[in-house]
Structure 1
Amino acid sequence: MTAGESTTDAAGATNTTTPRTYLFTLTDAGGTVPPELGVVRRLVDRGHRVTVLAEQSMADQVRPTGAAYLSGDFGGPGELRDWELRSPTSMARGMADHMMSGPAPGQARETASAIDAIHPDLVVASAMGIGGMIAAEARGVPFDALIPNVYPLPVPGSPPFGMGLAPSHGSLGRLRDRVVSAGATGMIDRYALAPINAVRRDYGLDAIEHSWDQLRGARRQLILTSAAFDFVGELPQNARYVGPILDDPAWAADQAWIAPAGDSPLVLVAMSSTFQNHVDCLQRISDALGSLPVRGLVTTGPAIDPDQIQAPANVSVVVSAPHSEAMRQADLVVTHGGHGTVIKTLAAGLPLVILHHGRDQADNAVRVTTRGAGVAVSRRASAEKIARAVADVLGDPAYRRAAEELGEAVARDAASSALLDELEGVTGRATPR
């Protein structure tokens, strides 16, 4: 395609923007992959030249987007087994070693090589892709960061990330936020800051004061959610809510599924696509649905074999089903609270029962419960308690009404042009350092 030529994307929108070259440097963090590759697909559909540098585990998901694929071997200690971590300190060290500073040297090396080969107009990195950001900064290429969840950096007016806290009020509440945020930042810095600065030094860059400053240095922080869903604080000037990506993962696209027969309410169970030691939790959910006059559709995802779940007669257990299809028939979703599942459920106008396991899931749960769009119960709750929560939400139409109201704003933001407007607004490269 020549510069200035018009194209039509998959949604039927006409693009007259000059084709640009984008390099995505992405990390395999499970639920973040489908929305990030949804961004890739949208740029490809609009005629841009897009290359994705990602781990080999993502290859089969990258190729259907139409982007060029570069296999990355970033190194680092491998899988973060966060369900085994029992303290905030161990969680901070795990995040640093496995997601931030650990892979950074390999990410930086391979991103720098890719930049030298394809000369991108913009590098787009996963939020934890610190090394890719460093390489872009060193090469003088602007970089954006993808944040496919609620806003994680500490800012005035937003509760600290990862704690499942509601917004604070008054001077004591503001003090709570400052103290907790400072403590969390300090724990991350203890393990991540020195290794990050070592990589920056290797690429001729000055040291940063806090680990999060690398992300703060992005041209744009693209928040892939709805401001109506998040607890919005005083965002920095380069942060933008650009709406959620509602795409199903590539591995679920062609899966056949059949809901149990009958006309009783359909409850979709959608837990983590990565292993979070949740087999027993899935079994208790299945047992709970077996005690109710409902039909259950349990999707285990690629991390768990459906044969590990003993299903009651009114419950079907499958590896996956495209949630965009299943949610059109469902009345309620039971989930671990991952952002992708929660936001798609709300966009479908459905209430939720959330058994959050960790990561950002408690934050997503409190945003649902505060708006009255569902309830949260412990991941260790008994089948009886889970059954009561499901029955309560199905039996009270107020939950459905609240989910529909919030979902209208979520769906509207998902359909907006804000994401592409920001990505296509890049103006050019800086002077290489």
Structure 2
Amino acid sequence: MATVLFCPVTFNLAETTRMIQVARALDPAHRVLFLGYEDDYVPLVRDAGFEYVPGRPAWTRAQREQALAFDQGRSVRSPFTRELVGARVDLERRLIRESAARAVVTGSNLTSFLSARAERVPLFFPVPFALTGPHVAQTRTLYLVPGKGRPARWADRAVTSAFRWVYTSAPLAPHAFTQVARAHGVPPLRTIASLLTADRNLVTEMPWELDGFDLPETFERVGPIFAHIDSPLPPVVGELAAQPEPLVYLGLGSSADRSLALDAAHVLGSLPVNVVAPIRHYLADGDVVPPNVHVTDLLPAHLLGGLVDAAVLHGGQGTVQTACATGVPFVGMGLQPEQTWHVQMCAARGNAVAVRPRRVRADLAGALRRVLTDPAVRRAADEVRDAYTHEDGAAATARIIEATLRDDATT
């Protein structure tokens, strides 16, 4: 059997848990090794029983935020210096050699795209379709301009067209990657799209989300992959579910902020609902939320089906797919283009209502009332849940990795 090296961005919750799900789906005879640079969600890796190697240099909080903005297409500036990229590629290449890794699985750890190629090890990238090269190249709208009228649609198409050129054609990949690539004998990656394209790009979507798109040869659909955190639900969830008021789940992942968490909590606090809210990591000492909003740490959201009546989500693919798989209709507040696309796909399917983040105070209450009372939204959520029962993106990804390992072993 083989060593498979996983390189998630370990301050990104969805990405870390996506990698854990794939690692779990591999044949246990393989050696699974995780590498990360930040400590935020490393306990989830260790709790899942996987070996972890801490890497350095790590980022400051400001560098993390800048890196996320770059990865999510919100900025062309990045924190990737020549020194940081060079040090990380050196470390990753050394770990690949020392562990005899025969496959690398990455999230958005961009240095993996250089180190795996430099070591001539196949690179696998389980990835949401939104903001991949083929998505940006083919889509007419990225929902970058809010509004529903014709002028807003025209403006959005114009902005999307400009974004398409920047993302897929302009030589805007950080210069550090070009320098380090040349130093390691790897063809330079000049565009942002090429910087985020692996040998095998495994698209974590449902079939209808790819309608109208053609996938290039190196892209294939595997299906949804979302977190299954190994912990019980806190007792408060069962207690609240037994009460007559609707129970709402407030899930903001790891890419929201304190302001949005407090705004959403206070709007929900004004409604005749109970709320379970794993948002403790966003709150500061002294922050007060309404008494019907019960703040918790991260919890196993995949166990909430049948207990919560609706959700309010930031739009990250992990939280959205968890709601879809458990039949929970939701209000989505996409915080950046990838998340907005996830929310809009569900709104078009009928199991979600979209709200702009800047309109949370004004629009969240009405959107949640619709999610809780409109039978069409409930029916759509049930239909989507039923479709999800036939999908297992982690298992499909593991099969592809293992088939590649077998093929390599016979050549």
Which residue does the alignment assign to 1:69? 52
**Would you say the 8 A contact 1:267–1:334 is kept in 2?**
yes
Which residue does the alignment assign to 1:391? 369
2:65 corresponds to which letter in structure 1? Answer: R
Which residue does the alignment assign to 1:335? 313
Q: 1:196 to 1:88 in 2, by over 3 A?
A: closer
Q: 1:337 to 1:382 in 2, by over 3 A?
A: closer
Which residue does the alignment assign to 1:266? 247
**Would you say the 8 A contact 1:289–1:296 is kept in 2?**
yes
Which residue does the alignment assign to 2:5? 23
Which residue does the alignment assign to 1:123? 104
Which residue does the alignment assign to 2:152? none
**Would you say the 8 A contact 1:154–1:161 is kept in 2?**
no
Deviations for 1:81-119, whole angstroms, at most 9, x for unmatched residues? 36998x99993234x325x98853233111100111011
**Would you say the 8 A contact 1:354–1:376 is kept in 2?**
yes
Q: In the TM superposition, what is the alpha-carbon distance from 1:173 to its structure 2 partner?
A: 10
Q: What secondary structure does 1:122 align onto?
A: strand
Deviations for 1:1-24, whole angstroms, at most 9, x for unmatched residues? xxxxxxxxxxxxxxxxxx222112
Which residue does the alignment assign to 1:97? 79
Which residue does the alignment assign to 1:352? 330
Q: How much is the aligned-residue C-alpha RMSD, in angstroms?
A: 3.6
Q: 1:341 to 1:181 in 2, by over 3 A?
A: same
CA distance in 1, matches of 2:82, 2:200: 21
Q: In the TM superposition, what is the alpha-carbon distance from 1:374 to its structure 2 partner?
A: 1.4
Q: In the TM superposition, what is the alpha-carbon distance from 1:392 to its structure 2 partner?
A: 1.6
Q: In the TM superposition, what is the alpha-carbon distance from 1:387 to its structure 2 partner?
A: 1.4
Query: Aligned pair 1:195/2:172, yes or no?
Result: no
Q: 1:101 to 1:395 in 2, by over 3 A?
A: farther
1:267 corresponds to which letter in structure 2? Answer: V
Which residue does the alignment assign to 1:302? 281
**Would you say the 8 A contact 2:249–2:310 is kept in 1?**
yes
User: 5 Å matches for 1:30-429?
Assistant: 30-43=13-26, 46-57=28-39, 58-75=41-58, 79-81=63-65, 91-94=74-77, 96-97=78-79, 103-126=84-107, 128-148=108-128, 150=130, 152-155=132-135, 156-159=137-140, 163=144, 179-185=162-168, 189-190=171-172, 192-216=173-197, 218-230=198-210, 233-249=213-229, 253-254=231-232, 256-259=234-237, 260=240, 262-274=243-255, 276-277=256-257, 279-304=258-283, 308-312=287-291, 314-358=292-336, 360-381=338-359, 383=361, 385-414=363-392, 417-426=395-404, 427-428=407-408
Q: 1:105 to 1:284 in 2, by over 3 A?
A: same
- Between stretches 406-415 and 157-166, larger displacement belongs to 157-166
Q: 1:262 to 1:54 in 2, by over 3 A?
A: same
**Would you say the 8 A contact 1:121–1:429 is kept in 2?**
no
**Would you say the 8 A contact 2:126–2:397 is kept in 1?**
no
CA distance in 1, matches of 2:288, 2:47: 31
Deviations for 1:380-399, whole angstroms, at most 9, x for unmatched residues? 33545321111122111101
Q: In the TM superposition, what is the alpha-carbon distance from 1:76 to its structure 2 partner?
A: 5.5
2:208 corresponds to which letter in structure 1? Answer: A
Q: In the TM superposition, what is the alpha-carbon distance from 1:207 to its structure 2 partner?
A: 2.6
Q: What secondary structure does 2:126 align onto?
A: strand
Q: 1:214 to 1:285 in 2, by over 3 A?
A: closer
Deviations for 1:41-63, whole angstroms, at most 9, x for unmatched residues? 222x5321111111241432222
Query: How many equivalent pairs are there?
Result: 397
Gaps of 5+ in 1: 1-18, 167-171
CA distance in 1, matches of 2:88, 2:68: 26
CA distance in 1, matches of 2:184, 2:393: 39
- Between stretches 347-356 and 55-64, larger displacement belongs to 55-64
Alignment TM-score, normalising by the size of structure 2: 0.83
2:4 corresponds to which letter in structure 1? Answer: Y
CA distance in 2, matches of 1:119, 1:97: 30
CA distance in 1, matches of 2:54, 2:270: 47
CA distance in 2, matches of 1:204, 1:430: 26
Alignment TM-score, normalising by the size of structure 1: 0.79
**Would you say the 8 A contact 2:131–2:338 is kept in 1?**
no
Q: In the TM superposition, what is the alpha-carbon distance from 1:39 to its structure 2 partner?
A: 1.1
CA distance in 1, matches of 2:409, 2:131: 27
Q: What secondary structure does 2:376 align onto?
A: helix
CA distance in 1, matches of 2:214, 2:160: 13
**Would you say the 8 A contact 1:160–1:180 is kept in 2?**
no
CA distance in 1, matches of 2:84, 2:60: 8
- Between stretches 173-182 and 67-76, larger displacement belongs to 173-182
Q: In the TM superposition, what is the alpha-carbon distance from 1:359 to its structure 2 partner?
A: 5.3
Runs ≥4 in structure 1, deviation > 6 angstroms? Answer: 87-90, 172-176
Q: 1:149 to 1:386 in 2, by over 3 A?
A: same
**Would you say the 8 A contact 1:104–1:131 is kept in 2?**
yes
CA distance in 1, matches of 2:296, 2:91: 38
CA distance in 1, matches of 2:330, 2:175: 41
Q: In the TM superposition, what is the alpha-carbon distance from 1:227 to its structure 2 partner?
A: 2.9
Q: 1:227 to 1:388 in 2, by over 3 A?
A: same
1:22 corresponds to which letter in structure 2? Answer: V
CA distance in 2, matches of 1:112, 1:417: 27
